[in-house]
């Protein structure tokens, strides 16, 4: 019984760890060279152009990660390691 509870709790923690994650990539048609810099992720249900709105609690959350030599088609992942405002990705 203890073993079953332990396995169940480990599975639950594993699922929670990976359920709040986004992956993004770019196509060769958009840019055909490796990319290094900062990648931003905005979560917003209403505005399709986030640059025209404010970031924060009253509007929508924003996340950023630094990348180096990302190739076209290669996925980069946003998780709790990303710089975030107003809260970490797993807290949304």
- pLDDT tens for 1-54 read 444 444 444 444 444 455 588 999 999 999 999 999 999 988 877 766 666 666
Q: What average pLDDT does range 41-68 have in this prediction?
A: 75
What is the phi-psi region of residue 23: left when phi exceeds 0, alpha when psi lies from -120 to 50, beta otherwise? beta
Q: H-type helices in 1-92, by residue range?
A: 2-19
CB neighbour list of residue 27: distance below 8 Å, 6 or more residues apart: 72, 73
Three-class SS of residue 78? strand
């Amino acid at each position: 019984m203890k073993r079953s509870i332990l396995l169940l709790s480990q599975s639950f923690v594993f699922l929670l760890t990976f359920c709040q994650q986004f992956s993004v990539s770019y196509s060769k048609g958009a840019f055909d060279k490796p990319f290094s810099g900062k990648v931003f992720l905005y979560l917003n249900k209403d505005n399709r152009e986030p640059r025209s709105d404010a970031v924060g609690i009253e509007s929508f959350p924003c996340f950023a990660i630094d990348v180096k030599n990302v190739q076209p088609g290669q996925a980069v992942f946003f998780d709790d390691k990303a710089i975030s405002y107003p809260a970490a990705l797993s807290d949304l």
